[in-house]
Amino acid sequence: MSKKIFSGVQPSGNLHLGNYIGAIKNFVDLQNQKENQCVYCVVDLHAITLKQDPKILKDSIRETTAAFLSSGIDPNKSIIFNQSLVPAHAEGSWILGCIARMGWLNRMTQFKEKAGKDKEKASVGLYIYPILMAADILLYDATHVPVGEDQKQHLELSRDIAQKFNSDFNVPNFLQVPEPLIKKKFSRIMSLKDGTKKMSKSDASDLSRINLTDTKDQISNKIKKAKTDTMPIPSKINELEKRPEVENLLGIYSSLNNQNIEKTINEFSGKNFSDFKETLADLVVEKISPISKEIIKLLKNKDHIDLILKNGAEKANEEASKKVKEIKKIIGF
Ligand code: AMP
Ligand code: TRP
């Protein structure tokens, strides 16, 4: 069955191995299944829900786009654009905001986490962010949305909004109810310094993550210094319990090699970590270095990146503005 795929990544710069394995690598795999139609969006309207420096934001939009392109997302196969170039997202979001209920938004755990203790001081945008995400998805009739585990709740909200719209206006199946595509395995890559924390761009220690722009030496060095423990690599998967750092490194290896963790354990069981880390470092360098080289090359030609975004936005605009027009007609404008 052919799928219509939509996904978005915030332009925050500093993309890392977690973003690659958890999101971008899947985007590429989905794109390369011929029957799929994919739309990948740099969600800059989402980014301003937190305070941004305008100059840095502009560069981050290009950097995230460069990471998409360097990882294999092909503008001839997929639509790549940044959200703020397509006004239908903001317009659709207003209308869907009148469908969504306060009670639904009040349950969103990401808002609670991001707003922190002083939620009175959080932007209103941060609160209604999941409605904008619903507009992103629903304006393209997306059937499937690849995201990390952390976005599951937002996707459920998109489904609720689509269903309520269809039923309120008696237009069955008008808004496509999207399915999440969440990888069960390796959907969370953990910090190299603490296997209980997600690898994250906001971690104070750069040694906790592999950035997509790291050099070969940086990658090898970070893997060498990654936390492990004193026991050898286990021979059974259930021996990984309570050894989150070991599980994470074996998971990274398995995922980059497109194999299951059992196969990786068979390959390395009984071996010591220095041997495993060397092989892992070689693999990460093999997969990530070409991407980082290409990102750096692409970023030297900003006009080229801007043109790709502009061309993508034209295609996106055609689809999204048509859907908003239909929505407006249904609601009586
Ligand atoms: P973010 O940079 O947090 O907006 O995330 C962009 C995409 O990368 C989302 O689909 C996340 O679910 C995914 N992602 C972020 N961090 C990780 C991680 N440590 N492991 C796996 N996926 C991640
Ligand atoms: N909220 C997502 C994140 O923070 C990004 C996002 C915005 C998105 N719109 C989307 C993801 C639509 C999937 C579909 O990671």
- Rounded to an integer, the average pLDDT of 193-203 is 92
Lowest mean pLDDT among 12-16, 72-76, 300-304: 12-16
pLDDT value, residue 323: 98
Largest CA distance in the chain: 69
Report CA 216 to chain centroid distance, whole Å. Answer: 24
Give the per-residue pLDDT at 272: 87
Task: Name the pLDDT band for 321 (thresholds 50, 70, 90).
Answer: very high
Residues 228-241 pLDDT 10s:
988 889 999 888 88
| pLDDT confidence of residue 12 | 81
- Residue 45 Cβ < 6 Å to ligand 2: no
Structure tokens of 190? 């953990």
Query: pLDDT band for position 184 (50/70/90)?
Result: confident
Mean pLDDT value across the chain: 95
Higher pLDDT: 83 or 147? It is: 83
* Mutational test site, ligand 2, from 82, 150, 153, 154, max ligand atoms within 8 Å of CB: 154
User: Is residue 97 within 8 Å of residue 134, measured between CB atoms?
Assistant: no
Domains of the chain: 3-188+302-331 (3.40.50.620), 206-297 (1.10.240.10)
* pLDDT confidence of residue 187: 75
Q: Which residues are catalytic?
A: 114, 198, 201
DSSP-derived secondary structure for 86-132: -THHHHHHHHHHTTS-HHHHHT-HHHHHHH-S-GGGS-HHHHHHHHH
| Residue nearest atom 22 in ligand 1 by C-alpha distance | 22
The 10s digit of each residue's pLDDT in 15-41 is: 999 999 989 999 999 999 999 999 999
Phi, psi of 172 (to 5 degrees): -55, 135
- pLDDT at position 150 is 86
Q: Does residue 131 line the site of ligand 2, with CB under 6 A?
A: no
Query: CB of 8 closer than 6 A to ligand 2?
Result: yes
- Per-residue pLDDT reduced to its tens digit, 257-284: 999 999 999 999 988 899 999 999 999 9
DSSP letter (8 states) at residue 143: S
Q: How far is CA 182 from CA 21, 113, 172, in A?
A: 12, 21, 26
* Protein residue closest via CA to atom 14 of ligand 1: 19
Q: Which residues line ligand 1 (CB under 6 A)?
A: 9-10, 12, 18-19, 21-23, 147-148, 150-151, 187-189, 198-199
pLDDT at 277: 96
Q: Would you say residue 161 has pLDDT above 90?
A: yes
pLDDT tens profile 76-94: 999 999 999 999 999 999 9
Residue 1, pLDDT > 80, answer: no
Whether the per-residue pLDDT at 186 is higher than 80: the answer is no
3-state secondary structure string across 174-210: CCCCCEEECCCCCCCCECCCCCCCECCCCCCCHHHCC
State mean pLDDT over 55-59: 95
Judged by DSSP in three states, 260 sits in coil
